[in-house]
């Protein structure tokens, strides 16, 4: 079959970052993209002839050649660590001794592949050869084939092989344009402590393409008040997990402490919030590329209860108390996050607001949030303290000063561990984004059921959305209560996750015969000029026909194909079915009333409280 014929026969195939997908894309579009495919097809056909004639490992199949011919190389810049990984990061393999490996030699290059130490799903492909070597790498598995992009030429390459299912064998073909060698890599089982990921729905034809990336956190001890005993085994609380369209785990990363917000950057590295006090950028091997840390976790709380250093010694210091819930890289390269500060305020009623005994002095130690923008160098370039926009003394809507009673839940532990026993979680901001104009910051203040719009230049408050705010809704229950994950849409509407804590007309128990609470993804149209708001779409989550209520954490993201990815992250751990979290993908109905579920993943962990804070759909590990 000629290379030109291969192009024309591929009219039912498209590729996304080198991964093959069946699609009904027109033949004209494929022929437009064929010249790039043609070059790789010619090489791969030559490879097939060489293997058929010479290889002792067996002939190349026509199907493999066709698959390779329909694949294209998508380039990304290489990354390398700029600071040593701390004890909480995955260890990097020594290039010359990658562990047990399959080796193959060729006149122009040498290649080995092996699993990363202490990891079941990440392979490290090491290719050595001449100065101008730029390897071509094709991975073939039973479920899919994909090209791993290599963009730079050089004598030594260490390439992550990721997106592999557990306990599966893959053929990895490495070429230099003249010859190829095929290696074999067999993955291991996922960690034993992983929960069951149950797939109730997976309509792959209607889903947005790619992998679902999310954090996984065990909060069982935090919510039960368990304190570690001396000599007990240190836990590894932080996980990132990626699953494919059928819910199979294809990548994961482990760390000693909790991981929250995570997102993929343009170079393929992952930026994530760590331990609510630091920030990291990691590569696909799990190595720390950059790290930033606040002043408390590098000072009085440098070591955890097990004597482990929380962040790397070379972490870039940032003059903030914490970095929590949100971590984003802005277009200019600066980072946007949320921090906290402890403030003492007086003037409260002497009888107290939180059930204290009579005779308190009318003061509270409040943990308040601060929006922070900082440069990669660690310099803080802007601060927006929320105490400047809220008034807990005089404004009833802002007087939810009691917070949560748990000592080990953030941000309580950060200050109580330093001796501030009266510190209470007042604002609990959990999301901040730049609005579409770039002029404003929009911040979600969970404990006040408020969303604030703040001018980045003047620091002035533009408006407040929520009960008692600047907008009217026909039904007060239509406001968001204890919300998460605000996201501006292209049409100027606002999408968010509404947990529903304290929603009027609902009750968590059988009190007064009220219906149970519910959580939802909801989209609002706000008109600041008229002071009106309306719900334009909502989806109320369900499990087996019953309403879902996630009392804490959650997410709602618009996907590339218009679907919405919804995370019901903190379900009741006492559910009879043991389900503690759920991720669903919804095709919104045009009338705004809900939509069709095309993906439904459930975390089943009986006896444990495993939660998911947020989830992202990434098109490829190799953008």
State yes or no: pLDDT of 467 exceeds 50: yes
pLDDT-based confidence at 229, cuts 50/70/90? low
Q: What is the pLDDT of residues 184-213, one digit of tens each?
A: 999 999 999 999 999 999 999 999 999 999
First to last CA, the chain: 31
pLDDT tens string 413-448:
999 999 999 999 999 999 999 999 999 999 999 999
Query: What gap in Å lies between CA 343 and CA 71, rounded to an integer?
Result: 58
Among 215-219, 341-345, 424-428, 495-499, the range scoring the smallest mean pLDDT is: 215-219
pLDDT at 477: 78
Nearest to 337 by CA among 351, 326, 347: 326
**Residues 50, 54, 60, 65, Cα dihedral to 10°:** 0
- What gap in Å lies between CA 438 and CA 141, rounded to an integer? 44
Q: Lowest-confidence range among 20-24, 289-293, 321-325?
A: 20-24
Q: In terms of C-beta distances under 8 Å and separation of at least 24 residues, what long-range contacts does 187-191 make, across chains too?
A: 187/115, 187/120, 187/121, 187/123, 188/115, 188/120, 188/121, 189/120, 190/120, 190/121, 190/166, 190/249, 190/252, 191/120, 191/252, 191/254
pLDDT digits (tens, 9 = 90+) for 16-68: 333 333 333 333 333 333 333 333 433 443 444 333 334 334 333 333 333 33
| 42 sits in which H/E element | helix 27-54
Helix axes 27-54, 62-69, angle to 10 degrees: 140
- Is pLDDT at 102 greater than 50 in this prediction? no
Side-chain-side CA neighbours of 287 within 13 Å: the count stands at 18
Q: What is the DSSP letter of 382?
A: E
- Provide the pLDDT for residue 336: 98
Banded pLDDT at 223 (limits 50, 70, 90): low
Q: Which residues contact 35 (CB under 8 A, 6 or more apart)?
A: none
Q: Identify the band that residue 558 occupies on the pLDDT scale cut at 50, 70 and 90.
A: very high
**pLDDT: is 400 or 588 the higher one?**
588
State the Rg of the chain over Cα: 26
More confident residue, 447 or 219: 447
Asked if pLDDT for residue 299 goes beyond 80, the answer is yes
SS3 289: strand
Average pLDDT, the chain: 84
Best mean pLDDT range from 233-242, 342-351, 490-499: 490-499
Backbone angles phi, psi at 468, to 5 degrees: 80, 10
Q: Which two tokens stand for residue 418?
A: 């330093």
State the pLDDT at residue 250. Answer: 98
Helices (runs of H) and strands (runs of E) counted in the chain: 5, 40
Q: What is the pLDDT of residues 330-389, one digit of tens each?
A: 999 999 999 999 999 998 887 778 877 655 788 899 999 999 999 999 999 999 999 999
């Amino acid at each position: 079959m000629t290379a030109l014929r291969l192009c024309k026969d591929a009219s039912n195939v498209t590729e996304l970052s080198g991964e093959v997908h069946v699609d009904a894309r027109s033949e004209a579009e494929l022929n437009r993209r064929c010249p790039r495919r043609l070059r790789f097809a010619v090489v791969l056909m030559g490879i097939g002839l060489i293997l058929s004639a010479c290889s002792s490992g067996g002939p190349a199949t026509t199907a493999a050649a066709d698959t390779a011919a329909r694949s294209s190389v998508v380039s990304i810049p290489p990354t390398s660590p700029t600071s040593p990984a701390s004890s909480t990061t995955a260890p990097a393999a020594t290039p010359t001794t990658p562990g047990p490996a399959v080796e193959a030699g060729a006149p122009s290059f040498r290649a080995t592949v092996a699993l990363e130490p202490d990891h079941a799903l990440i392979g490290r492909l090491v290719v050595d050869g001449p100065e101008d070597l730029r390897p071509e790498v094709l991975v073939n598995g039973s479920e899919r084939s994909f090209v791993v992009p290599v963009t730079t030429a050089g004598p030594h390459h260490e390439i992550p092989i990721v997106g592999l299912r557990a306990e599966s064998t893959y053929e990895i073909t490495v070429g230099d344009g003249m010859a190829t060698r095929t290696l074999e890599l067999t993955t291991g089982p996922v960690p034993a402590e992983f929960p069951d990921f149950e797939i109730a729905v997976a309509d792959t034809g209607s889903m947005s393409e790619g992998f679902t990336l999310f954090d996984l956190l065990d909060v069982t001890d935090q919510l039960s008040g368990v304190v570690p005993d001396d000599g007990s085994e240190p836990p590894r609380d932080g996980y990132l997990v990626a699953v494919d369209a059928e819910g199979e785990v294809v990548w994961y990363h482990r760390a000693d402490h909790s991981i929250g917000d995570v997102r993929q950057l343009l170079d393929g590295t992952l930026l994530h919030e760590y331990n609510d006090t630091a920030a990291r950028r990691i590569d696909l091997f799990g190595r720390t590329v950059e790290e930033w840390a606040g002043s408390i976790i590098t000072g009085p709380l440098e070591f955890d209860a097990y004597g482990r250093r929380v962040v790397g010694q070379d972490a870039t210091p940032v003059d903030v108390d914490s970095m929590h819930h949100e971590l984003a890289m802005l277009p200019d390269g600066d980072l946007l996050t949320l921090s906290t500060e402890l403030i003492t305020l007086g003037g409260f009623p002497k009888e107290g607001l939180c059930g204290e005994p009579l005779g308190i002095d009318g003061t509270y130690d409040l943990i308040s949030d601060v929006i922070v923008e900082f440069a990669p160098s660690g310099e803080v370039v802007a601060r927006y303290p929320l105490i400047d926009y809220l008034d807990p003394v005089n404004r009833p809507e802002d007087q939810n000063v009691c917070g949560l009673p748990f000592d080990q839940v953030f941000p309580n532990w950060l200050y109580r561990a330093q001796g501030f026993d009266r510190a209470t979680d007042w604002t609990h901001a959990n999301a901040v984004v730049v609005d579409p104009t770039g002029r404003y910051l929009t911040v979600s203040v969970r404990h006040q059921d408020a969303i604030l719009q703040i001018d980045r230049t003047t620091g002035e408050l533009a408006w407040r959305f929520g009960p008692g705010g600047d907008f009217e809704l026909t039904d007060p229950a239509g406001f968001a209560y204890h919300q998460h994950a605000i996201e501006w849409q292209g049409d100027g509407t606002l999408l968010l996750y509404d947990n529903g804590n304290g929603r009027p007309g609902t009750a968590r128990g059988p009190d007064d015969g009220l219906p149970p609470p519910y959580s939802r993804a909801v989209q609002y149209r706000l008109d600041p000029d008229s002071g009106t708001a309306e719900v334009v779409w909502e989806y109320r989550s369900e499990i087996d026909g019953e309403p879902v209520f996630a009392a804490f954490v959650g997410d709602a993201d618009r996907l590339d194909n218009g679907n919405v990815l919804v995370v019901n992250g903190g379900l009741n751990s006492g559910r009879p079915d043991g389900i503690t979290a759920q991720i669903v993908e919804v095709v919104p109905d045009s009338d705004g009333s809900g939509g069709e579920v095309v993906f439904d993943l459930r975390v089943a962990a009986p006896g444990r409280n495993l939660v998911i804070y947020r989830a992202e759909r990434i098109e490829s590990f190799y953008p």
